[in-house]
Structure 1
Amino acid sequence: MSTPTKKLVDAGVSIWLDDLSRQRIETGNLAGLITDRNVSGVTTNPTIFAAAIGQGHGYDEPLRALAAEGATAADAIFSLTTTDVRDAADILRPAYDATDGVDGRVSIEVSPDLAHDTQATIAQAKELWTEVDRPNVHIKIPATRAGLPAITAVLAEGISVNVTLIFSLDRYAEVIDAFLSGIEQAKANGRDISKIHSVASFFVSRVDTEVDKRLAAIGTDEAAELKSRAGVANARLAYELFEREFATDRAKALTDAGAHVQRPLWASTGVKDPSLPDTLYVTELVAPGTVNTMPEKTLEATFDHADITGDTVTGSYADAHGVIDGLATVGVDFADVTQVLEDEGVDKFIASWHELQGTVRTALEEALQGAR
């Protein structure tokens, strides 16, 4: 019997797990999810690594070794996270080989502290790519103003990129332009553009969280009718933009030369409002050539009871435009919503990164004391 996750894959959606830890790797949990839940990729971020390293004892032994070497917290984080990503990439290598590099991907993010520094982002992206040393890694770069030229420069070097923290259609259009520019430069540099892959991570549930808060403050019946509709509508319009931009002569010249399109990836797909269906951001965003990266709770809910009925995106553009127009009518400034979310997204990842640094610093000190 075909499971909901298998039906999702059959509909053209790649399922990636939005989580990683040493425990998942060493216990066989990740391998099991690949086999049993149709997982074909992994995404990580600073919050995920802060939780993984801060909980349990899975990192005790490598932390003791790093402490003995005199590693700083920054050195230790770099070593631990790149090791996890490298090992996960090895586990996913069969999916990478089977899909000609489209899936089997593991993402690792540049330091959030660099989100507004183009040159430092480029330098660390190269460093992470070299250190992990696996063809199926994605380097995550946030879609901030400073991130856009970094995306182009890194792609031009032949490095595959996961563009993260995209909230607005305007910024997404800029991301697509940055991607195309990067592939054009890579081609001009003589690189094999068929080996370069990219996804554009469009965040979903956080949009509803922010919009619904504003709709509740407005308090009218018209506002209430728009509750929890903005996230899906915004993502569907992103797919409409994807279809349009990759049908242009510019994009087709590159794909005809062997380039891949930059696939849309639905991120932040865990439902935060308990009154909503727990698979909402899966079932309502089924479209060919997309990725849905799910926290394990959402993955399990999808496997257990998601109703996958095929493409739920391409026939819904008129309705999605109506939702966004309706928000403006009731007084929600959607451009402000997406800017607030981008700023908050960077700030949250910076806070998680600093929390991780503190956790690792303490662990290194405790390891040294224990060795005395």
Structure 2
Amino acid sequence: MRPFRSLILLAAGLLFAPACGDNKTTTETSTATEQPPKLSKAPTFNADSAYAFTARQVAFGPRVPNSAAHLACGNYLVATLKRLGLKVREQPFSAMTFDGTNIRGRNIIAQFQPAAARRVAIFGHWDTRPFADEEKDPKKKNKPLDGASDGASAVAVALEMARTLSQQPDSLTPNVGVDFIFFDAEDWGYDTSTQSDLKNQLDETNGNSSWCLGSQYWAKNLVPAGYKAEYGVLLDMVGAKGGNFTREGISREKARAPLDRIWNTAAQLGYSDFFRFEDTDAITDDHVYTNQAGIPTLDIYDNPPYGESAFPPYHHTTQDNMSIIDRRPMKAVGQTLLHVLYQE
């Protein structure tokens, strides 16, 4: 998942920790307040397929921008989305990271039912962090990581949703078009808690961040041009054992209606063990920039219910590998989102 965890002040007045940030959010517990509508029928989300999509990405190796594994995985994602019959566009960009590295990035945009007027966006990031800086072992801090949950699992859930939708006959498709947008260069940011010995060479004033470079670029250069969606869902770290999804601060402020629909739908489906009715502080993640682009976006990410960190123990460590991946949270997320799409 995303970068630094230190708390910072949003222009909107919300206190937030970076999606890959430092500090634990305060938690309030509440319950659903409205009687949810009866669920519409939806196709079945195949968790085995989502697991396989996760493993396939991890098999390329760490997807660090400028690496051969990164290029190969990007090509695989584009080819897979095209094979599923979606309209696919690539958005190449160049950027400089906090440590002065010039990278070549690529956002990937795939549209299901591209002619539909009403649209919903499913966002995720497909790159991995180039260093495991949250490792307790100093010898491992500069090693790249597999990013099995942080990146691959979210893209895998989106790919399986796309595969499932592509298999439906025209008479059984949802009433909305769905856009699967995979951002690049999300995870090469400056973490103040683990990298204080390094200098951040980027200007992080005026809403800029060393994190989320791909979504920042996309928000300023929308693809498709003039893109609009009724709402967006950002997926991040949705595949680990014991996944715990809370109602994050920016999500509550910017996309409360779809957030409530998703959490209530998850409860109806029996997934409240994953989708917790708990309110937690805001974090810096790609949804910061998609909201700035005018798309009300909520974030579904693994927020542990214990300790002082807003992120799970595997975050930005070499432990983020296939050994922690569990089909159950991916099933909970994918099946819930399919039902929500079929409610529209």
More RCO (CA 8 Å, sep 6+): 2
TM-score normalised by structure 1 residue count: 0.28
Question: Which one has the bigger strand percentage?
Answer: 2
Structure with greater Cα Rg? 1
TM-score normalised by structure 2 residue count: 0.30
Question: Which one has the bigger helix percentage?
Answer: 1
